[in-house]
Amino acid sequence: MIIGFIGFGKVSKNILNLIKSEDITFITSIENRSEKTVENIKKCEIEILDTFKSVASKSDVIISANSPKNALAVAKEYGKYVKGIYLDLNNISPDTTFEISKHVDNFVDGAIIGKIDSENPILYISGEMADNLLFLNEFIETKKISDNIGDVAILKLLRSCYTKTLSAILIESTEIAKSHYLEDEFFEIMSLTEGEDFRQKSLSRIKNTLNSSQRKSEELEEIIDYFNENELTMVKAALEKLSR
């Protein structure tokens, strides 16, 4: 079996590390990739092809893991060459998911839940072709939600509603604590109710949010666009905070 990646960031790299099998070959391309991405790819045990068109046409499973902003464009450009399963792992709205399904056969909506570089993330999938990916259970806990394209996308957005908004509140609270020279005390009292590892997890969340604020802002924009009939006061505030 051949698994191909379009986009090679932390998600793709961790999948590569988790799926270890002599029966599976991984492929990607460095076509139009940044110098940093090319360097990361060359450090991995993965076959490099000249173009992503070749990657798409030769893969039994193609994984799109780039960014919410590029997900649809990638599907339009390379989806027509895919003969196997097309698995999208980007944090996109159900509307974008439905649009992608128009350009791709054998489409599966997916999400990696858990820390990106975790040793035990969970892969959630939905779509009529999702059963064909349950073999991944041998390497990654894989759960099929339904046959409906978009169900996983909705769950991704709901999770992002919580996590991105919480991250913005953590950043703001920590900034205020620092301004009053009470950062240590703040984390100490929070740990009494939130658990002993609250500080460690919070600082990790804050660092991750600040390092990828643009991508997380794109995800919040997707949430606001899709759930436009719902009250999203906190989500809109979180987007404003991350944008600053």
pLDDT digits (tens, 9 = 90+) for 75-113: 999 999 999 999 999 988 899 999 999 999 999 999 998
End-to-end Cα distance, the chain: 45
pTM summary value: 0.80
Phi then psi dihedrals of residue 68, to 5 deg: -55, -35
> Residue 177, class by beta-carbon neighbours within 10 Å (0-12 exposed, 13-18 middle, 19+ buried)?
middle
Q: How far is CA 244 from CA 126, 168, 172, 217, in A?
A: 35, 11, 12, 10
For tokens 């992503």, what's the residue?
A: 52
pLDDT digits (tens, 9 = 90+) for 176-224: 999 999 999 999 999 999 999 999 999 988 998 888 888 888 888 888 8
CATH tag, 154-243: 1.10.1040.10
Assigned token pair, 64: 């799109």
Residues 6+ apart with CB under 8 A from 66: 6, 7, 9, 74, 90
Cβ of 206: how many Cβ atoms within 10 Å? 17
Average pLDDT, rounded, for the chain: 91
What are the extents of the domains in the chain?
2-147, 154-243
Contact status, residue 218 vs residue 69, Cβ threshold 8 Å? yes
CATH tag, 2-147: 3.40.50.720
So what's the pLDDT on residue 76?
Answer: 95
pLDDT-derived band at 72 (thresholds 50, 70, 90) equals: very high
